[in-house]
Every structure is written in structure tokens, then in C-alpha cells.
Amino acid sequence: MKTILLIIPNRFLLTGILMGCLVTLSIPSHAQPAPFEPIIPIEDYVVTAARTPQRSNEVASSVTVIAPGELAAKQITTLGDALRSVSGVSVLKTGGTGGVTSLLVRGSKAAQTLFLVDGVRFNDTNTSYASWLGGFAPGINDRIEMLRGPQSTLYGGAAMGGVISVGLMRGSGEPSGSVAAEGGSFRTMQGALSAQGADGALAWSFSVSGYDTDNDRPDNEARLANYTGRLDYRVSEALNVGATFRYLESAYKDPNDIRTFNTTPISNNNLRSNLITGFAEFTSGSVWSARLTAGVQSQRYDNDGSFSGFPSPYRTESRREMIDWQNTLNISDNVTVVAGANTERSKFSDGAPYPDDKLAGLYGQVEWAAAAGMHLGAGLRYDDYSSFGKAVTGRLTASETIGLTRVHATYGTSFVPPSLSQRYGSAYTAPSPGIQAEESTGWDVGIEQTVIANRLILDVTYFHNSFKNLIAYQGAIFPALGDYRNIGRAEASGMETSLKANLSAQLSATLAWTYLHATDELSGGRLDDRPRHSYAADVIWKPHSAFMLGVGLHGAADRLATDFNAFPSAQPDPGDYTVVRLYARYAISDQLSFKVRVENLLNRNYEETYGFPSSGTAAYVGVEWKF
């Protein structure tokens, strides 16, 4: 029998560590250690593009897959940091680890990208993902897919820019797991415990991690705790049932904008986020399969801020209850239909009385293998919100493979519903009973070229998005209150380039570059926080099975921001930046490894989010034991 002791300096983790020790006590001593992770796995299937597994060479949508183990190999801790390597995505974090993190995908606003977590629509205009994304650490079996372009046809509102799916995969194989600890700059300490496996009809996967740091700026401490788990039970060959849970507790001290006129800018931000799902998967031969998912998500955010000595505390609470019923019907060898229905009930509170928001949706998509190498798709969705009304969206896709070349194209429509405070007003704004959803139309066309038997895959995609009915605040003369109105229009277009190369058994590389042109159609000016150029790259060298060395970089060039501290507000250039990181791992044995990483190797001074300096050079050393 094996006993594992792990001490992590985070009070939130006590329960999780005790649970982990109880599980590991039951692992027999003959259990084999988990295999060393692949450097850069080339995934052969995608799920989110059609809500059913498709081979990657049949998918028309632009999608990036981050497989389990890939983030661990690169020593990336949070999901927000991981998404910097994805083309078409601009990541904005307010300074150090744990800070508010937003994504702008293909020129869309932060609130126009949907997170899908364990099959649950995780965010909308009432419930922001920004604080959660700053502290969420993927678990041992988390698979991440970034689907770009309008996706409301399959996933509903808030999917203008795209969908980021985080799904905890079923445990498999002999019981295995790991314990890890790391320490370094800014009084940083983190630890993690994870385990997964299967025994007959039962399968499990869980992770618990904690992260404590003071960060680089004074008064910028972050304390993060993540719990993730999945349990499956195969009732029969036709029926599998299971459940997932996720919990994040984040305590983040924010020194705020360095240019603010606020004389008391420091605030404490606390987030508690819960997600629990239960599911049943039924398969009837090779013709029909169905999945029923029920989920409950809740989130509470507290901010104790003040402005120049005057307290201005802020609290939001949200809760979403959902049911989704998806059916997959293989009509023939060439035609697959995905159809389903979902319902949601959302509660939101920021101190004002809002009614519950109810949603009922129907969706369907047909995938047709029209000829050898040619795949076509068409979909339609109907949504009915109690808060603002109905929305209908559609989508067309096409992909054709000829030899080692694949051409792909999509066209789709999408929407983002108004928030409850925009619709019904608040203590500071008047109601807007006639407000409508934001809408977008988008299309893309690209070519993917594979060279030397999957050793090198290059994809170049052009995209164009049109946004209308964008919601903006309209001021009023005191004592009247301003309100929100559909007064905005915008256009965004550009080019995404991605490269994945397994140059040899020892050397691998990835590259992502995006060119973006995003404009406000009313003023003719550029949209803020959308750099013309954003890029990321990683090169990994593994000369021996026991040693791995990697170097990565990310950056942005030609960008504008908004400075609200000036009057009238200004649009400064925050400057270009390129940030380099170095990471290495040496395995003493199949079970014991030592790790080291250096972030911001060249000690660049830059502000990813204007007014919030990012951390300087930082070094970390860690150890991991697999069992």
C-alpha cells in the first residue's frame, strides 16, 4: 500500500488533500506509473464543432485542441495563460496571477465569447467569466477546445467570437496519479494532487491544486484553490451515468490602475464558483445515441473597493440551472443528424430586484459526407428568452480534402442577449424595455496543408465578422438616469495562421500568428485592445526520454487602449511587447521528476491591460512524483 503526504500552504486545500490521501491509500503497490506525456500530440478528433466527435480532417470550423498533459508539459498553470497560444485570441489580464482575465476572439468583445464547461453554458451577460478565468487551473484529464467564429446555432447566446470548451474526460486504465509542489519568485508556492483510473464499470478522475503568490506589484497577493472531479459508472453496454464537479475559490488583492486618480485604489476581490453536473449517455447500436445533462452553476463575487476614501463595496451573485438533451442519429454511412433541446433558469443579483431569466432552445445540425473527402454541414437554432424575446440563428459549413490539402469554410449568425440590468435598469441606470440582442454575421475560409506524413500541419484562414445592435450606455442630464441602447456597429477581419510541427522524435514546434483589423463603424476608428498583430510560439526539445527543454514566447504589436483617467478619454498606444519563457524537466525515474521554469526571461516591462503592469522576470523550481 502507498501513502502520500502533501503539504500545500493554502487553507482552502485541506479538505481536498485529505480526500486525495484517502483515495491513494487504496491504490495497490503494483500499480504502474503514468506514462510520460507526449510533447505535442496531434489530435485526431474534435467534439465541439458539431457536438459529436469528428475526425480533425473532416472539420470545417477553425478549432484548436489542447489535449490533457499538454499544459503540464509546458508548465502552464491557468487556462487564461494557456489560451495565449491560440490564433485569433487576444488575452488581457490585469497584471499578475489571479487577475481579471478577458478574451477577445476575432475582434469580438469579452462578453461575446462563450465558455462551455462540462457541457454547461458557463457565462452570459449577467455572469462574467473574467475573475474565474484568472484563477481556473485545468485538471489532470481536462480537454480544451477553442472553436472560433459565430457558434450560436449549436450553443446559443454569447457565442459571437467563438466557444471555449473545457471538458473533464473519463478516467481510464490502471489507477495512476501525481503529487507536485513548486516554489519561486514573489513568495510563490503551489501544489497539486491528481488521480485517475478505472476499475471494471467504475471510472474516476480528480484534481486539487492551490496557488499562493504575492505577485510582483505591492498589495497584489493572490490565493487560489481549484477542485475538479468526475465519476462514471457503466450500467450496461448501452448506458453510462456519471457526474462532474468543479469548485474555485479565489482571493485576489488588486492594487488597480497605476494611472488612477483614486487615492485609495486597493481592493480585495473574492470569488467562489461552483459547478455540478450529472449526465446519462445512452447508445443503441451504431444508429442512435443520446446524452442527457443536468447542471447547476453558482457564483458569488465580492469587491470591497473604495474611491478616495469613500467605500464602494460591490457584490454579485448568480445561479444557473440547466438541462440539455442531445441526440445523435446516424441516418446512413454518409449522413449524421445532431438535434436536441435545452432549458435554463438564471438568477442574478447585484442589489437590484431582477426577475429570473428563463431560456428554452431547440437546435439541429446535419453533417453530410457528400463525396470522398468532402463534408458539408447545415444547422439551425431557435432560442426563446423571457427577458427579451426570440432569436433564430443558422450555420453552413464545408470541408474538402484532396491528398494532403484541406480547404474549409464556414458561415454563421450569432447573438448575445442583453443583461438583466441593461433590460430592467438598476440604481444607476433607467430601464430599457425595447432593448434587443446584439447580433453578428461571420464567415471564414482557409486552407490546411499537411507535409511529410503529419509531421507538419500549416493552416491559414481568413475571417470576417460584422456586428450590429451593439449595446452601449447613453448618458442623460442630471437628475435623469442614462440607459442602455442598441447604437453600435463594428467590423472585424483578418488572417489566422497556425503551424504544428513534429520535426523529429526529439524536436517539436508550434506557431500562431493573427493579423486583425477591427473598426467602429460609427466613428471609423479602431477598436481598443485589438492588436493588429498577436503571436505565440513554442519549441520543445526532448533529446532523451528523461529530459525535456522548451522555450516559448507570446506578444502583440500595433495596439490601442482607452485611458478613462483623461478627460475626455484618450486612446494611447500601450506599446508592443514580446515575452519569452523557458521551461525544463528532468525525470530521475519513471516516478520522480524535477522541473524549472523562468517567466519573462528578458524582463520586459509591458502592460497587457493598459494601466496594469505585468510581472517581471520570475523563476520557479518544482518536483513531481507519479504513482
Residue range(s) defining the domain that contains residue 506: 11-626
Contact criterion met (CB below 8 Å) for 601 and 582: yes
pTM: 0.89
Cell digits of residue 407? 480547404
Contact criterion met (CB below 8 Å) for 596 and 621: yes
317 to 129, 187, 421, 547: CA distances (angstroms): 13, 32, 13, 47
Q: Is residue 4 part of a domain?
A: no
Tell me the C-alpha distance between 316 and 303, whole Å: 9
Q: Domain tally for the chain? A: 1
Along the chain (627 residues), what's the average pLDDT of each consecutive run of 10 residues? 36 42 39 35 76 89 90 92 94 93 95 94 89 92 94 94 95 94 97 95 96 96 97 96 97 92 90 97 92 97 90 92 96 95 94 92 96 95 94 97 95 95 89 93 96 88 97 87 93 97 92 97 93 97 95 97 83 94 96 97 95 96 96
Q: How buried is 39 (Cβ within 10 angstroms: 0-12 exposed, 13-18 middle, 19+ buried)?
A: buried
At 441 the pLDDT is 97
Q: Is residue 363 part of a domain?
A: yes
C-alpha 502: how far from its chain's center?
25
Q: Is residue 600 part of a domain?
A: yes
Cell digits of residue 457? 500541419
> Strand 374-385 relative to strand 357-371: parallel, antiparallel, unpaired?
antiparallel
Cell digits of residue 502? 513534429
Q: Is residue 6 part of a domain?
A: no
- What CATH number should be reported for the domain holding residue 296? 2.40.170.20
Contact criterion met (CB below 8 Å) for 176 and 203: no
Instruction: Using alpha carbons, select from 613, 609, 593 the residue that is nearest to residue 75.
Output: 593
Q: Is residue 5 part of a domain?
A: no
Tell me the C-alpha distance between 128 and 155, whole Å: 17
Sheet strands (E) in 19-112: 45-46, 54-55, 62-66, 89-93, 101-105
Helix count (H) and strand count (E) of the chain?
6, 33
Q: Is residue 359 part of a domain?
A: yes
Tell me the C-alpha distance between 415 and 420, whole Å: 16
At 246 the pLDDT is 97
Do you find a cis peptide bond into 568, omega within 30 degrees of 0? yes
Sheet strands (E) in 304-424: 306-307, 310-311, 314-330, 335-349, 357-371, 374-385, 389-402, 405-416
Q: How many alpha carbons lie under 13 Å from residue 522 in its C-beta half-sphere?
A: 9
Q: What is the largest CA-CA distance in the chain?
A: 75
N-terminal to C-terminal alpha carbon distance within the chain:
11
Q: Is residue 73 part of a domain?
A: yes
Tell me the C-alpha distance between 553 and 511, whole Å: 10
State which amino acid sits at residue 113.
T
Cβ-based neighbours of 557, under 8 Å, separated by 6 or more: 531, 532, 533, 534, 576
Instruction: List 227's β-bridge partners, or say none.
Output: 208, 247
Residue reference for cell 526529439: 506
- 446-469 burial, b if ≥16 CB within 10 A, otherwise e? bebebeeeeeebebbbebbbbbeb
